[in-house]
């Protein structure tokens, strides 16, 4: 994720959350259809130009909503994919935001601290590097009233890069 604040780089876990990872990659690359604001099915890069609309210092930053309100979604939902080996036990966990069980679609968050109360409630589908957590922490420091950023925190480009084998 490229932002003015820096780059957030995360490793994805398709072996633990295959549907969630495939959905995230498909939306990022513009290969997965979704409903736009007027209800039409479209296929384009979903995350580019969206922002982090919810930022809470010491907890998490949340993005992936093209409306920027926290209510936007793709027009479909994903099944939850909870993996016992993945826990919200550290900063940098990349998880699917939702409104309850089996309601995730496009919104995601990056944890800034251990958040075990989120285990088995939000699908973990990746982990961000330590340097990326520092970028996320800077974004969280921009928080203002209602957990909204005081200044826009826009993803200029969501890029998916396949890591070399063995990395």
109 part of the active site: yes
- The residue annotated as part of the active site, out of 16, 32, 88, 122, is 122
148 part of the active site: no
- The residue annotated as part of the active site, out of 3, 13, 16, 62, is 62
34 part of the active site: no
88 part of the active site: no
59 part of the active site: yes
- The residue annotated as part of the active site, out of 23, 73, 98, 107, is 98
Contact 51, 42 (CB under 8 A): no
Contact 46, 30 (CB under 8 A): yes
Hey, what long-range contacts does 115-120 have (CB within 8 A, 24 or more apart)? 115/59, 115/60, 115/88, 116/87, 116/88, 116/89, 117/88, 118/88, 119/82, 119/87, 119/88, 120/82
Question: Tokens 């780059």 map to which residue?
Answer: 7
- The residue annotated as part of the active site, out of 109, 112, 127, 153, is 109
62 part of the active site: yes
- The residue annotated as part of the active site, out of 59, 82, 87, 90, is 59
For the four alpha carbons of 105, 107, 111 and 117, in that order, the dihedral sign comes to negative
- The residue annotated as part of the active site, out of 16, 53, 54, 127, is 54
- The residue annotated as part of the active site, out of 24, 118, 127, 153, is 118
- The DSSP 8-state label assigned to residue 147 in this structure reads G
122 part of the active site: yes
Active site residues per annotation:
54, 59, 62, 98, 109, 118, 122
């Amino acid at each position: 994720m490229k932002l003015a604040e820096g780059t957030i780089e995360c490793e994805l876990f398709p072996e633990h959350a295959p549907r969630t990872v495939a959905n995230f990659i498909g939306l990022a690359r513009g290969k997965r259809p979704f409903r736009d604001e007027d209800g039409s099915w479209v296929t384009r890069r979903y995350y580019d130009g969206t922002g982090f609309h919810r930022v809470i210092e010491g907890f998490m930053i949340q993005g992936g909503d093209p409306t920027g309100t926290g209510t936007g979604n793709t027009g479909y939902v994903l099944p939850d994919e909870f993996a016992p080996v993945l826990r919200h036990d550290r900063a940098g966990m990349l998880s699917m935001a939702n409104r309850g069980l089996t309601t995730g679609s496009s919104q995601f968050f990056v944890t800034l601290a251990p958040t075990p109360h989120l285990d088995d409630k939000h699908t973990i589908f990746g982990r961000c590097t330590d340097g990326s957590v520092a970028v996320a922490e800077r974004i969280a420091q921009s928080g203002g009233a209602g957990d909204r950023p005081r200044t826009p925190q826009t993803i200029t480009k969501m890029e998916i890069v396949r890591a070399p084998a063995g990395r």
